[in-house]
Structure 1
Amino acid sequence: MSEPTTSVPRTFAWAAPYAGLDDDALKALGNAGLLRRARKDYAGVTELSHDLKGAVLGVSGASVRVDGRGPAAVSCDCPTAGVCQHVLTACLWAAEVAPEAPPQGAAPVVAQSAPRTSGPGSESGTGAAPASGARRTAAPRGPSEVVLRRRREALAEVRDVVGRLMSGGLSHLGPDDAESLLALAGRVRLAGFEQVEPGRVSGVRFVGLLRVTAGFVSGLAGRDDAVTESDLLDAFAEVWAMGEVLQRALDTGSGNGPAGGEDPAKPTGAASRAEAEELDVARWVPLGARWWNSPSGSRGFAYLGWDSVADTASGTDAGQVRQVVTGRPSGTDPSFQRSWTSPLLWGRSLSTLCEGAFTLTAVRAKPDGTLGAGGTPAVHRLDGDGFDLAELQQIAERTGAGVAPRDVVGFGRRPANVRLVLVRDVGEIGIDEVRQELTLAIVTSEGEERALRLPATSEQAVQTLLSVRSRLVAVTIERREDRDEPVGLFVRDKGAIRLVSPTITPAWTFESSHWDFWRRRIRKLRAQAASAKTVRAVAAPPTPVRRVTLLLGDVLVAAAATGRPVLTARQRSDVEQARTLARDLGLATLERTAGGLLHGELTPSTVLHAAFVVGRARAVADVAG
């Protein structure tokens, strides 16, 4: 009799990068829906060919190439742009044929890809007893050694790529460098840094910073006037600083998993709040919306409102400005377009969400105080037609303080610096030819003169502002890049107060007829073109703190643009002047930063460290001023 043969699962050495590939990593590479469909296709995978470097698989009629470069390099011939379900299916197949990862130390480590067992055998049931020295399920589970190694390699690659691009000089970057950053973002996404404590990085995604940086590189290489070396240097500094934070988290073992004694199946800390916390807003007063387009090609809008919360102890209104930011990446969801009447948020249009005060039930909240765009919260109108002028006056008084300096030192997007002002008088229209902006002078109810600014290239925003300027009651102003941009215009319309958005609301919204509007518009534009003045703003001298940041910032931008490893005589003089001024002002951190530039070589890490510190000091100085 022949002895029964034992089936030995085959493994391939080239598949080592796929060992320990878990659901979290696959969801990061694609999304949860793609992963579910990929698992359905897994049973039908056929191996078309293979060699020492990889294999070609047949997945639901598509041909997929998988090799030793890792999941981020898997390619599919289907017409889907980016990662498709066939790619995830191929990754699942490669993980099955990957060699087993070596154990960490004497005690086995439970990998993130291992399924969570429940029932017999997991604790005290009738199943097989756990091996001696194995961890109990109640003990904390961190990432496997494979996952940790993948994260360390990703961080090392980020340092290498950023250092190479900085060494060559930002002015010499080309389109290929932008493509390399996008590919790097894909590999970083696979490393699963979203599992690190969000509180350590202000809830900002590492992948998002890399993609934004790639957009800046593409814009600078394409000679886009809206992108400067200063913008790109700030983006590189953010990437470098977040990489340092994540590397420290890996080295110290913090931020790599749940705290001891907690259930690893449940999200903890800020991650739990970001995913699961919901709240009810008793009274939401819309303040405006602003459409945006990022250098990476993404587009979306920020929706602003006043969360009116009554303080029962003092009997006053303790409300706050909240915002909802949503958008789509470049090349995705063509139905998501700038529109005043199409449903873009919570299944409703912005025209509906800007009609007046309403309640929000079961709206998602994030750790930074912003509201989430997901879900379908219930919206119920509270008042009649339009807005209450007395309530707008209260909101104007509450928003006068602006943003606290401590709120601008984190990573990523800064909190909205929003203020509502009542309008007493509307002044002249002007054109700032240098900055290519239209300006509209207003006088607030407090007698303060302000110049509202909109990019002259935003034709719709300019038309909307001009069409309602004579009926302005109040304006929601967002302080962005040292200018006051109107994001919400409260206007009188047939006895009621309405809210429009300059960047989203069509100019003829409140006109009786589209053609009547254009006839009046042509007559008005002719008159305004004849009376518009050229604005030559008189620059006020910078504050001492601002002067320190300006001196250091100019030197850092020049060094980064050229890639020079040493300071010129003029640059050294500026840095010495900045260090002396910082010492006189008691700015110890800026003084040390300037000293580091004087006494060492301008390596990429030195320049990026200094740029990050100077950028945060500049943000604090702007807000405090």
Structure 2
Amino acid sequence: MSVRDDVAALLARYDEDTWVALANRGLLRRARKDLTATDVRVVAEDGTAVEVGVGDVVVRLGLAGPSDATCTCPSPVTCQHVLTAGLWLAAGAGTPQVAASSPADALHDELMALDAATLTAYAGLPGFRWASILLDDADEPPVLTRDGYLTVTFPRRGLTARYLGGGLDALVLDQAVPGVERFRVAVVLAWQRAHGLVLTPPAPRGTRGTGPSEAAVSRTASRERLRATAAAVLRDTVRVGVSHLSPAIHERLVTAAVWAQGVEYHRLALLLRRISDEVELLLVRSARADDLALLDDVAVAHALVAALEATAGREPAALVGRARTAYDPVRRLDLVGLGGRPWRTGSGYHGLTCLFWDAAGSRMLTWTDARPETLAGFDPRARWRQPAPWTGLATPAAATGRAVALTQAQVSPDGRLSGVESTTASVGDVRGADLLASLPVRDVWADLAVRRVTGLLDVVDQNALWAVVRPARALPAQWDPVAQVLRRPLLDEADDVLVLEVPWSRLHAHAIARLEAIGDDLPAGACVVARVQRVRGRLVGEPLSVVVPDRGNDAVDALHFDTDPHPGAGGGSALVADLLAAGTADRPTSPDGSDDDPGVVPGPVSALRAVVEQAAQRGCGGTVPGDVHRRLASAHAAARSIGLSVFVEPDPALDPAELLLRSSYLVQQVERALG
């Protein structure tokens, strides 16, 4: 086939959404009109591209398609003529033969075949590292689809990339982004990781980088300079105004983020990357941009820099942080399986998380397997009885209520077990009484070590929230039709209440039916394994399993998976049957059960937030001297008048930007405490 045939075959796979992503719907509509009103013809062809005449201009289209096309018109972006030429070629006009569209499997193979050397050559070492870190630190993993062509969506950015063939340059992004090459590499890495291939980022070079070289200065000196640089750029975002930041601010933030990673300030690097991403959304006028959310993040990052400055040379590990992908090798772990739970997030991921008790380490550990919902062949409930990640353990279900010894295990600092193939498992029976004796059972709710975040810079250990509780009695289950949650109160001997809650989801339908079917009370001596948190003054637990000591070697009853004693539609539960019949929408959950639900905020605090946001949006660089201090002082005094003494008199000697960031942090801290 000729180059013209290859280009036409690529363009034949473009659908309406892809053409719109290249430009916009109005331009596409005008391009279609040009097909009938303008003379379109092939004027030249060589070994790399075909040239198409559209009226008086000439469009050159190569194997990368319209995203890398050129036009003799003066437009600096993808123009109407490029779309017209592409549509004309896609329709097969003037082309002897257009190849059939490649199947999605062939496109998948093309992305999977790209190696680290190719990606590094395309985006450079910094671009490859940036793309890897973007995926490592993503709060919401990319969502993948395969339907005629391949798409990768980054939920936080609202950015979708489409691959229809033609190599890296042919990846179509539906937004204009700075550094498009690094985003294309991130798309490829995201696709590969979702299908089990993780490319190792190239090692940083000591003689390169945007911050001071580690070969030239000590890490201590480099960190000192970074803190000053980061604090300055964060203040400048408020001085300029978060509603009208410049590309220069964005570049300074990216530079500081890379520098922070280089000096192993992992937590600060993550925050600065997130802030730079938010600034980028503002610069491209994305509908997902939120300047007030940006202000909140800037204030938290500014506080983190101040905390690092105050503890320089002896920075606590919680402030420094660790890379999310870091795992520590452990020669042997003796664990007990306590069950598992399926989950689905609002960002389009679902998975299975299993819980284990490490008696020697007095801690809970978890193993999670997750995939995009759009990736065929993965079912969180079915995963429970599919092969386990470690040799020697048949399935995740086989670990429930059993002693599991892992050899050559890998454990992250936050208690996540890696599914690496080098880990081996041996499984043994353990009787119910012995199992309970090894667990940290709590009979009195006042003794529960419920962790509550006391500061915005606190790190929450999600695994520490798991508890094993033995109630004195249980009250009947109740369904909340407004919150779409099943609640079952558990009482201790002092009649203190811990409420078990299961949010509605088809993945949780089995657990809801089981929790209803237990009856008016739990079996004698039974314990409940649950994630317990204090929510606005009350104890709330998400149940995982029930431990019944007199059941021998099958003491752990996994509520989400074990056989329902009342089989039938909806597991014998009329409630579940009605919810399924009504098509009730799922309430998204998450692997860690996090749920942001703010409490009631007093009026003076809301008023102070309004003052800070107004000044930070407009910018305080050109305000009348003393104006910011005067307004903040008045708002702080109103907050102190209702007993919130943390809002002290602002120091008039401080920079107005510094005052605004400090006030913003205090407002967020009080809102968190009251929530």
Aligned match of 2:637 in 570, 576, 579?
576
CA contact (8 A) 2:489 2:499 kept: yes
Deviation (angstroms), 1:525: 6.5
> Does residue 320 of the first structure (1) align with residue 366 of the second (2)?
no
Task: Say if 1:574 and 1:371 are closer, same or farther in 2 by CA, change over 3 A.
Answer: same
Deviation (angstroms), 1:489: 2.0
CA contact (8 A) 1:23 1:113 kept: no
- TM-score normalised by the chain length of structure 2: 0.48
2:252, 2:420 → 1: CA distance? 28
> Does residue 489 of the first structure (1) align with residue 541 of the second (2)?
no
Which residue of the partner structure matches residue 406 of structure 2? 360
1:451, 1:32 → 2: CA distance? 38
Which residue of the partner structure matches residue 610 of structure 1? 663
Write the letter of the residue equivalent to 1:383: D
Structure 2 regions of 5+ residues with no counterpart? 1-119, 136-164, 193-201, 579-597, 619-626
Which residue of the partner structure matches residue 29 of structure 1? 131
1:522, 1:582 → 2: CA distance? 50
Task: Say if 1:581 and 1:494 are closer, same or farther in 2 by CA, change over 3 A.
Answer: same
After superposition, the C-alpha distances for 1:495-540 in whole angstroms (9 at most, x for unaligned) are 35554666xx35xx313796x36473349968xxxxxxxxxxxxxx
Write the letter of the residue equivalent to 1:375: V
1:80, 1:238 → 2: CA distance? 26
Task: Say if 1:281 and 1:561 are closer, same or farther in 2 by CA, change over 3 A.
Answer: farther
Which residue of the partner structure matches residue 418 of structure 2? 373
After superposition, the C-alpha distances for 1:242-264 in whole angstroms (9 at most, x for unaligned) are 366469979999899xxxxxxxx
1:572, 1:154 → 2: CA distance? 27
CA contact (8 A) 2:127 2:181 kept: no
Which residue of the partner structure matches residue 277 of structure 1? 328
2:379, 2:238 → 1: CA distance? 34
Which residue of the partner structure matches residue 106 of structure 2? none
After superposition, the C-alpha distances for 1:391-446 in whole angstroms (9 at most, x for unaligned) are 27643369934146688653565544332211343312324455443221222466
Task: Say if 1:240 and 1:350 are closer, same or farther in 2 by CA, change over 3 A.
Answer: farther
> Does residue 62 of the first structure (1) align with residue 158 of the second (2)?
no
Q: Secondary structure at the match of 1:391?
A: helix
CA contact (8 A) 1:290 1:301 kept: yes
Deviation (angstroms), 1:308: 1.0
Deviation (angstroms), 1:448: 3.1
Aligned match of 1:510 in 538, 541, 563?
563
> Does residue 478 of the first structure (1) align with residue 585 of the second (2)?
no
Task: Say if 1:276 and 1:393 are closer, same or farther in 2 by CA, change over 3 A.
Answer: closer
CA contact (8 A) 1:30 1:84 kept: no
441-450 or 295-304: bigger deviation: 295-304
CA contact (8 A) 2:206 2:214 kept: no
1:30, 1:72 → 2: CA distance? 14
CA contact (8 A) 2:356 2:365 kept: yes
Which residue of the partner structure matches residue 491 of structure 2? 443
Q: Secondary structure at the match of 2:475?
A: strand
Task: Say if 1:601 and 1:160 are closer, same or farther in 2 by CA, change over 3 A.
Answer: closer
Task: Say if 1:478 and 1:83 are closer, same or farther in 2 by CA, change over 3 A.
Answer: closer
2:214, 2:187 → 1: CA distance? 43
Task: Say if 1:112 and 1:295 are closer, same or farther in 2 by CA, change over 3 A.
Answer: farther
Which residue of the partner structure matches residue 296 of structure 2? 237
Q: Aligned runs of 1:581-600 on 2, under 5 Å?
A: 582=643, 590-592=646-648, 595-596=649-650
Write the letter of the residue equivalent to 1:191: V
Which residue of the partner structure matches residue 181 of structure 2? 74
2:404, 2:276 → 1: CA distance? 38
Task: Say if 1:405 and 1:436 are closer, same or farther in 2 by CA, change over 3 A.
Answer: closer
Deviation (angstroms), 1:111: 0.9
- Report how many residues are paired: 455
Q: Secondary structure at the match of 1:285?
A: strand
Task: Say if 1:407 and 1:460 are closer, same or farther in 2 by CA, change over 3 A.
Answer: same
Write the letter of the residue equivalent to 2:563: F
2:207, 2:185 → 1: CA distance? 32
Write the letter of the residue equivalent to 1:26: F
Q: Secondary structure at the match of 2:437?
A: helix
Task: Say if 1:208 and 1:136 are closer, same or farther in 2 by CA, change over 3 A.
Answer: closer
Deviation (angstroms), 1:192: 6.0
Write the letter of the residue equivalent to 2:500: L
Q: Secondary structure at the match of 2:129?
A: helix
Task: Say if 1:321 and 1:459 are closer, same or farther in 2 by CA, change over 3 A.
Answer: same
Write the letter of the residue equivalent to 1:511: D
2:272, 2:228 → 1: CA distance? 14
CA contact (8 A) 1:212 1:296 kept: no
CA contact (8 A) 1:279 1:363 kept: yes
After superposition, the C-alpha distances for 1:25-79 in whole angstroms (9 at most, x for unaligned) are 623424899xxxxxxxxxxxxxxxxxxxxxxxxxx9636399xx99832279999
1:433, 1:375 → 2: CA distance? 42
Write the letter of the residue equivalent to 2:415: T
Q: Aligned runs of 1:341-420 on 2, under 5 Å?
A: 341-342=385-386, 349-367=395-413, 369-376=414-421, 377-384=423-430, 388=434, 390-391=436-437, 394-396=440-442, 400-403=447-450, 410=457, 413-415=460-462, 416-420=464-468
1:499, 1:235 → 2: CA distance? 45
Which residue of the partner structure matches residue 152 of structure 2? none
1:435, 1:32 → 2: CA distance? 34
Structure 1 regions of 5+ residues with no counterpart? 1-17, 34-59, 86-94, 96-108, 115-134, 169-179, 224-228, 257-268, 310-318, 527-545
Task: Say if 1:342 and 1:329 are closer, same or farther in 2 by CA, change over 3 A.
Answer: closer
- TM-score normalised by the chain length of structure 1: 0.52
Task: Say if 1:276 and 1:221 are closer, same or farther in 2 by CA, change over 3 A.
Answer: closer
- Identical aligned pairs, as a percentage? 16
1:165, 1:336 → 2: CA distance? 46
After superposition, the C-alpha distances for 1:136-160 in whole angstroms (9 at most, x for unaligned) are 98x8766999x99999999988777
Deviation (angstroms), 1:167: 4.6
CA contact (8 A) 1:62 1:76 kept: no
Aligned match of 2:502 in 454, 463, 473?
454
Which residue of the partner structure matches residue 114 of structure 2? none
CA contact (8 A) 1:421 1:477 kept: no
CA contact (8 A) 1:28 1:189 kept: no
1:392, 1:333 → 2: CA distance? 39
2:279, 2:342 → 1: CA distance? 20
Write the letter of the residue equivalent to 1:576: A
2:517, 2:497 → 1: CA distance? 17
Write the letter of the residue equivalent to 1:591: F
Deviation (angstroms), 1:484: 1.1
Deviation (angstroms), 1:608: 5.0
CA contact (8 A) 1:282 1:360 kept: yes
CA contact (8 A) 1:112 1:144 kept: no
Which residue of the partner structure matches residue 111 of structure 1? 207
CA contact (8 A) 1:282 1:308 kept: no
Q: Secondary structure at the match of 1:439?
A: strand
CA contact (8 A) 1:421 1:445 kept: no
- What is the aligned-residue RMSD (CA, Å)? 6.5
2:275, 2:343 → 1: CA distance? 17
Deviation (angstroms), 1:554: 3.7
